[in-house]
Amino acid sequence: MTDSVAIFSLLATVLAALAVGVGVLVLQRLNRLSSGRDDAALTLQTQLDALERGLRDALGRLEGELRGELREEFARSRQEAQTAALQQRDEQGRGAATLAQTLSGQVGSFGQTLGQNLTQSVQTLNQTLSQTLTTQIGQLTETQTRSLDAFAQQLKTVSDGLDGRFEQLRQAVEARLAALQQENGVKLDEMRKTVDEKLHATLEQRLGESFKLVSERLEQVHRGLGEMQTLAAGVGDLKRVLTNVKTRGTWGEVQLAALLEQILTPAQYATNVATVPGSGERVEFAIRLPGKDDNGFGETSPVWLPIDAKFPVEDYQRLVDAQDRADPVAVEAAAKALEGRLKDEAKTIRAKYVAPPHTTDFAVLYLPTEGLYAEALRRPGLTDTLQRDYRVTLAGPTTLAAMLNSLQMGFKTLAIEKRSSEVWAVLGAVKTEFGKFGDALAHTKKKLQEATNSIDKAEVRTRAVGRKLKSVEALPSGEALALLGADGGEGGETGDGDAEEELV
């Protein structure tokens, strides 16, 4: 029983402490709520609910612990009763049951009372908190209403002031805009006049320049038309040259003449030469080669190399047209016609212009275009046939230039051979003069050797005089000049020379 009383006392103490803690917490929350709003009230309500749940849990745990201790106590009591006297077992059991029922009832009533007290406390706290919050919210609402009224009054005052200022500003801006519009109108009129004047002047200038440029271009067009007419006339002349047989021959001769003039000297070739004695046939060009009786320069009896220019343009044009049409039959026919034409020309040249020993045993058939020359070379065996049967060599512009350059080198070699005797005579004269130069050089060397010996002797005597004067104290230069009567320069040098001669 003593332990039960102690347990009840402990339980009452714990409950009192919990009640005090709850009261303190409620007071702290009320103090905090004096400066908070609705969200604080909600937070407090939540915390109170949590506290109530915590108290209920604590009471449940205490009740459980109390029941456990009571059961232990009853167990000990039963054990003691059994050991003390088995007779009292029934009475003690009934007493223990009665005590357990009593204690259970007391604990239940105490828990019920404590729950009711806590519920009443929470309700009281809620009512107090609600009243406090309602009062504070009302006060806060009144304060905010007064503040809003004051702010509205101030805002109205400021708005009235701003309206007055805006009105003044609007009037000032309108006045300024009117002045600016007036000024801008005046300036725009001035600018319009200036721009009109400048545009008029610029337009007149540009129009004048444009008309001038158009006139110049028209003049250039007229000149171009004149040049085109001239070019058309030239093309027509060229066409006539290329279509007329005689004119084509003349064009080939002109080209051949230009090539000969560029490479050979006028003395190395001739035009319209009768290469066959007693014949009236004259070849267009012939190169003068040295004969046997003229010591290598052909001045007495030259040997001629005939060169004739031919331009069978009709046959060549038919060949080119057939190649453009890609007609192999026509190409072969045109090529054979060109081959026959070249053979006929070679036969004519062989009969008219080749007559050894007055000429070389061959002549040159000049074809004035590289295309025509290439077509002639493309025919198999044509060049060999012309050289073997007709003693005629085909040559295009490039080939003839190479041939003429080779002949020019031969002419130079012959010229060198002719003047070789003169060169030897000049070399003999040079050798004689060089011998005289050697003698003069030996004489000069002898004189230089004598001068060197004289200088060596003078150096020996100078060193001997220096050894003799080694013990004599030297005077300052000023005193020495005064003593020797020399004023410097050439006179001083002369005096020194005389003194040295006397010492010697």
- Cβ distance 274 to 282 under 8 Å? yes
Please indicate whether residue 283 or residue 117 has the higher confidence score (pLDDT).
Answer: 283
pLDDT in tens, 202-242: 877 877 787 788 878 778 877 777 777 677 666 555 555 45
Domain contains 199: no
Domain contains 179: no
Structure tokens given for 132: 């406090």
Domain limits for position 118: 2-161
pLDDT at 55: 66
Same domain, 443 and 481: yes
Same domain, 388 and 444: no
Structure tokens given for 95: 């007493």
- At 248, the pLDDT band (50, 70, 90 cuts) reads very low
Same domain, 391 and 480: no
Q: Are strands 363-366 and 303-309 parallel, antiparallel or unpaired?
A: parallel
Structure tokens given for 468: 């003799």
pLDDT at 246: 44
Same domain, 380 and 362: yes
Domain contains 269: yes
Please indicate whether residue 239 or residue 110 has the higher confidence score (pLDDT).
Answer: 110
Domain contains 240: no
Measured CA to CA, the distance from residue 53 to residue 47 in angstroms comes to 10
Domain contains 106: yes
What mean pLDDT is predicted for residues 105-126?
76
Question: How far is the first Cα of the chain from the last one, in angstroms, to the nearest whole number?
Answer: 168
Q: How many Cα atoms within 13 Å fall on the side-chain side of residue 493? A: 2
Measured CA to CA, the distance from residue 367 to residue 65 in angstroms comes to 142
pLDDT in tens, 274-314: 888 877 788 888 888 877 654 444 455 788 888 888 877 77
User: In total, how many domains does the chain have?
Assistant: 3
Among all chains, which residue has been given the structure tokens 């065996």?
A: 381
How confident is the prediction for the chain on average, in pLDDT?
74
Among 120, 136, 161, which residue terminates a domain? Answer: 161
Among 132, 161, 190, which residue terminates a domain? Answer: 161
- Cβ distance 247 to 241 under 8 Å? yes
Same domain, 142 and 109: yes
Same domain, 487 and 435: yes
Domain contains 209: no
pLDDT at 315: 78
Same domain, 388 and 430: no
Among 392, 418, 444, which residue terminates a domain? Answer: 418
pLDDT at 43: 67
Measured CA to CA, the distance from residue 364 to residue 492 in angstroms comes to 91
Please indicate whether residue 85 or residue 497 has the higher confidence score (pLDDT).
Answer: 85
48-57, 162-171, 230-239, 325-334: lowest mean pLDDT where?
Answer: 230-239
Q: What is the CA radius of gyration of the chain?
A: 74
Measured CA to CA, the distance from residue 442 to residue 438 in angstroms comes to 6
What mean pLDDT is predicted for residues 22-44?
56
pLDDT at 234: 64
Same domain, 365 and 259: yes
What mean pLDDT is predicted for residues 163-169?
81
**pLDDT for 503 beyond 50:** no
Domain contains 256: yes
pLDDT at 501: 40
- At 495, the pLDDT band (50, 70, 90 cuts) reads very low
Same domain, 335 and 388: yes
- At 39, the pLDDT band (50, 70, 90 cuts) reads low
In b/e form, how buried is each residue of 294-313, taking b as 16+ CB within 10 angstroms? eeebbeeebbbbbbbbbbbb
Spatial CB neighbours of 268, under 8 Å, sequence gap ≥ 6: 287, 288, 407, 408, 411
Same domain, 330 and 438: no
**pLDDT for 61 beyond 50:** yes
Percent over 90 (pLDDT), the chain: 0
36-45, 137-146, 413-422, 465-474: lowest mean pLDDT where?
Answer: 36-45
Domain contains 201: no
Same domain, 23 and 111: yes
Same domain, 266 and 356: yes
**pLDDT for 409 beyond 80:** yes
